[in-house]
Structure 1
């Protein structure tokens, strides 16, 4: 693993699955899928997921080492990656999920920074807030781009451009 290649910590719901889009209006380019990841077994109805197959090649072309940073964990390789044409990717294993942080940062933030271990990283998620930006700026010694995506729109062409340019060192960005 080349330590100069930045990591891309990628969430599923929000960036790839624009779950907040109006239910009757599937975003253009997206496919509607019904999935049953762990926790969505009957009698619960299957989970509706919208994915855009064009996102896979775009993600692979960004210049990052992609790591799933999602509650889907390794199941993203089963349910999400094949639809997008992605290879099997590493996934973060969360020590705890959905807990309240004493400093009010997102429950993923501390673990992402620890997992990056000083390496440059971008974090694409729909739940990044100002406290996360400040915490990352104080605690991560490398370059970081916490990148919030609107969960009603998902990743858009300009987002891919920004991420590609940041990975190439062409765009400053950071947690400050």
Structure 2
């Protein structure tokens, strides 16, 4: 898909009326309550169904998070969604590094957790990025010549579905589903 052709409309969304994955599946509400969201910077967690790693809230973490996601997807044989997930991870981790650090603490010690999960029978990959800010992500209507503001529009364009949820202990998780059944 050519990103230059992506709509910049605020209300652009899926044109179909099927229920969202979050509404249609009993397993999915547990996405945002999963323990790996509590990882400290540098820690990782792996299982048959998922992989997670915490990065510091610094610009260099965007590349490391993107490489982590690509490596996991290669191990899983999910190369078909690798480029879409790499783009989504880049955008979401970049947003977290820019907007989720509060106060004057050291951003390198503030975790941004990237978690990938296989969606089993439905197929596809769930990509989640959790941070400590409860501030909602805001999809902007960026002007064609703007240097920023297109990130969530790209996430919407390169995923089947995306959204965000507050975490019970504070913070939020922004998630996107790539690949799988339509």
Note whether the superposition's TM-score is higher than 0.5: no
Structure with larger RCO (C-alpha < 8 A, sep 6+): 1
More helix by share: 2
Q: When the two structures are superposed, what TM-score results if normalisation uses the length of structure 1?
A: 0.29
Compare the two structures and name the one with the higher strand fraction: 2
- TM-score normalized by structure 2? 0.28
